[in-house]
Structure 1
Amino acid sequence: MVLYKPATQIDCPHYDERPDESDVSVLVIHNISLPPSQFGTSGIRELFTGTLNPDEHPFYKEIAGIRVSAHCVIYRNGEIEQFVPFNKRAWHAGLSTFQGRSRCNDFTIGIELEGTDTLPYTDAQYEQLSILSKFILQRYPRITLGRIVGHNDIAPGRKTDPGVAFDWPRYRQSLDATNISSNTII
């Protein structure tokens, strides 16, 4: 099990085995807030653990019963919860394609930021995302800077996250400082 020890580990039923653990080669950045545009609720955790109560909010009725997860969630305060070990397949990408290859869940790691496409992310989130990304990049050398993408990049027209509010230059710069190899510029 590949776990990020600084994260709180949360039991999640929504994952399975990867077809090939050595194939992990892309990091996908997402955003999520539940209810939409509300922060600090237990909605994300409940969604990923299959315990979301559809009667708590009208939007929850629309997503009741879906089975999704991410490897980790970084909350607004910088707290990280890990739902799926990195060597397992989280269900975060949905219908997706990267460089002509479909079934992105098979070979990607998914990190969710508590947020929306249009509201700025917090300094704590950028700091923790950088630290977590460096941890992932050290353990999965096939993930280069050119293979760190947004959900919108692998599901264009269907997904828009992490959105216009995500500061890609700031994030890239935090990773560039570690001399991580890059075969393309993102």
Structure 2
Amino acid sequence: MATKFLGRLGLLVAGAVVGLTASSVLPAATASNSREDVVKLIAKRSGFSLTSFPVNPLATFTANGDLLDAATSQRVGNGSTVCTMTSVSPLSVPPTGIAQCSSIYTLDNKGSIFLSSSRTYQLGVTGLHFTQSTMAITGGTDAYRRVRGDSSMVFQGGARSGSDATSYLVELRLSTD
């Protein structure tokens, strides 16, 4: 009986030592060592396609394009999005639809950031677009493997409104531990 107790005590002490060692190597996630970065980009759409034919109002569609640094307009990566329309209001003015969307932003030589959102799209003179959206940052790879946070996107214009491509101002709020 004493042997069992000493054996359990030994395991408890060993577990405590491992726990202390791990905590000295891997800092605990606290507010004091969390970091938040804000990255501002322009997402410039260059490709758009519907994935069903004939066109189904609840279709899936894809979009892709370049990511530009908002301050310098230099290309810093690319983005791609796939959306599935979950509801459509064709009689509203303008016609609208709600879509569930997943995006991947790949920043040159750094890794990828994964995002997800529900967006309200409008069909207007500038084509199919959303006015603004908040996206959850659901993960990442490489330099962004521990990232979380959210992102806001605001419509900037489209080919029929004077600019050369549909674009969105993107603000990524990235938190890491």
Bin the TM-score by the shorter chain. under 0.3
More helix by share: 1
**TM-score, normalising length: structure 1:** 0.27
Higher alpha-carbon Rg: 2
Query: Per residue, is there more strand in 1 or in 2?
Result: 2
Structure with more contact order per residue of length (Cα contacts < 8 Å, sep ≥ 6): 1
State TM-score, norm by structure 2. Answer: 0.28
